[in-house]
Amino acid sequence: PGGRHVEELPALLPWAAGSLCPAADLPGAGSPGTSRMSTAAQQKAAPSPRAPRTPNPAAGPPTPVAADLLRSARGWPPGVVQPQGREHTQEDPDSLLEVPVSFPLFLQHPFRRHLCFSATTRETQRAWKLALQGGIRLRGTVLQRSQAPAARAFLDAVRLHRQHQGHFGDDDVTLGSDAEVLTAVLMRELLPALRAQTLPSLRGAGRARAWAWTELLDAVHAVVLARVSAGLRAFQPEKDELLESLERTIRPDVDHTLQLRARVAGRLQAYVQGPLESCLRREVDAKLPRVTRTLLSTMEAVIKAVQTLLAQGMDRLCRHLRQNPSGPRLRMEVYSFGEMPWDPELMQTCYREAERSQGRLGQLGAPFGFLGMRSLVFGIQDLAQQLMADTVATFLQLADQCLTAALDCDQAAQQLEKVRGRVLKKFESDSGSAQRKFTQGWVLCIFLPFVLSQLEPSCKKELPGFEGDVLAVGSQALTTEGIYEDVIRGVLLQRINRELRKALGASDISCTLAGCSESPGEKEEA
């Protein structure tokens, strides 16, 4: 709103794990979802769809709204006002909630005090809600959207660390920057001890006690985030040296290393084949088709919404080109068309399609320990925005090439319609490939951690017996655990791709995904 890009709002974004909710979802001292706001204020609050929410790991004492954060906030956004009322004190944390608030917005965070502010109109409230939702999403998926090997390696390292702690199911802990992700991981590990050591000594009762817990949690989070950020900065020179050393070690002997790795992978595959097949037949095969088809149908709905918006935008340009090829209205339409991917109101049509099926997908994934629905929804929305941006850029580039001053209005419109056809055909191809790859990746995210957890007692304890073969390779880039996971991933991908072929009626589905292939041998060849 007001010409500010959503990524320019870091002061209002509750880092990566935050969520935006309407007043009805404000946690209060009563039952979940109730609010202590006045009845008149609740009646005037604009109804709005709930954003995906992250369960609060700090569940225990109820978490109040951070009223003192409101009181100390500076630089309120345009059209947003601070509620006025009697001064908030720690002994009276509910004072802000008694103030009549017409159009409130609440930003929630699992480890920090929440943020509340009030808009002056329903339109302003909705504009800020959409902008903040977009900013939270882009902030949260910064690592997932990155193609840098370092980002992928970091996410893998976090996943392996959590598996060693016994957390196999995917969840939303990897939303945010590297410092925010590590802070979230550490906070989850600290919470049990923090509760045990501090909750018994907290004074007061009811919301006063909850307020004290919230302030403590916020302070601990700030300390952990600061130390993690400093540690990452200090580690950067050492990391660069390690990468250079690793490259010098691997590059001269890469072919021999891959051959030895393939040999170890073959032995591991023969060892795990029986237990793995038994686990897949017993636990996965019956549920895999439904999960795959549900995710495919969600992607189809989102892609159809994007395609509809694109076709409407290109039709408007063709129509205005025939009517007034040099007028300011046409220039405005061209500008609006170019801004479509970053128009939060327009893109809501696509984003809502991603949110509609999160309940069904969540129910299907929950038995396998999958709790990353927010990451999944964000990923679908990111993909919709990326497809829109790529197609808009292609259309404008081709239109610029074919439209010249020598053409009259009708000729120019005909050329633009030809471009429209080419662009939509390319969109169908690109979106189909993106749909298959995205579905393949997320079905793997749902089932792979579960399969690894099921095989943990029987198979993983025997991995030290293969350490000698890996040590003989002499490369720091190879680990027995890594090869073991690649073997399981390859077998699971075979089943996922088979379901995709059945659902899509295609025979050319790629078996590779982010460097993972159906068999370890194919990975080395790639």
pLDDT in tens, the chain (526 residues): 333 333 333 333 333 333 443 333 323 322 222 222 222 333 333 333 333 333 333 333 323 333 333 333 333 344 444 433 333 334 344 444 445 567 888 888 889 988 888 888 899 999 999 999 999 999 999 999 999 888 999 999 999 999 988 888 888 999 999 999 999 999 999 999 999 998 888 887 788 888 889 899 999 999 999 999 999 999 999 989 988 888 887 788 788 888 888 888 998 999 999 999 999 999 999 999 999 999 999 999 999 999 999 999 999 988 888 877 666 777 888 889 999 999 999 999 999 999 998 899 999 999 999 999 999 999 999 999 999 999 999 999 998 888 777 777 788 888 889 999 999 999 999 999 999 999 999 999 999 999 999 998 888 777 777 777 676 666 667 888 888 999 999 999 999 999 999 998 854 454 434 434 333 333 433 3
**Structural domain spans, the chain:** 6-138, 294-446
pLDDT for 521 equals: 38
Strand arrangement, sheet containing 80-81 = 19-21, 103-108, 115-119, 80-81
Task: Give the pLDDT confidence score for residue 315 in this predicted structure.
Answer: 92
The whole-angstrom separation of Cα 441 and Cα 284 is 16
C-alpha to C-alpha distance for 90 and 66, rounded to whole angstroms: 10
User: Within 10 A of 40 (CB to CB), how many other CB atoms are there?
Assistant: 11
* 8 A C-beta contact, residue 15 and residue 109: yes
Cα diameter, the chain: 82
pLDDT at position 43, please?
33
- Continuous H helices in 173-287: 178-198, 207-250, 254-279
Quick one: pLDDT at residue 29? 27
Three-state secondary structure string covering 448-459: HHHHHHHHCCCC
CA 111 to chain centre: 19
Task: Give CA–CA dist 326/319, Å, rounded.
Answer: 13
pLDDT of residue 409: 78
User: CA of 110: how far to CAs of 59, 183, 191, 446, in Å?
Assistant: 9, 12, 11, 23
| Radius of gyration over every alpha carbon of the chain, rounded to an integer in angstroms | 26
pLDDT value of position 256: 81
